[in-house]
Amino acid sequence: MKQSKLTKAARGRECQVRIPGVCNGNPETTVLAHYRMSGTCGVGMKPNDLQGAWACSACHDACDGRNQLINRAEARQYHAEGVMRTQAILVAEGMVAAC
């Protein structure tokens, strides 16, 4: 599967989801974790890469519900904030433009 520039940009980056007590702080495990929301994804369709946060493997697992270290609502909140932090970095680095 071909990776987009935004997906590749996650490699080696600091986790932006940052769930206290969950985040492993290891940039070697960071990937682009897509935020799933009704109307932007569905069966066989991922959200676009702008709806992604740089997440370490532990935070990604919490966001996707693969572990229950925090409740689902908290995980979604941290994930959404991570998306916004990731977008801010991408704008600051000139990878995406804000209107």
Per-residue pLDDT tens for 6-61? 999 999 999 999 999 999 999 999 999 999 866 556 667 677 788 999 999 999 99
Question: CATH no. for residue 37?
Answer: 3.30.50.20
Residue 97 lies in a domain: no
Residue 98 lies in a domain: no
Which structural domain range is residue 75 located in? 5-92
Active-site entry in 15, 34, 63, 70:
34
Total count of domains within the chain? 1
Residue 99 lies in a domain: no
Contacts 24+ apart (CB under 8 A), 26-31: 26/56, 26/57, 27/56, 29/56, 29/57, 29/58, 30/54, 30/55, 30/56, 30/57, 31/7, 31/55, 31/57, 31/60
Per-residue pLDDT tens for 67-82? 988 999 999 999 999 9
Catalytic, 34? Answer: yes
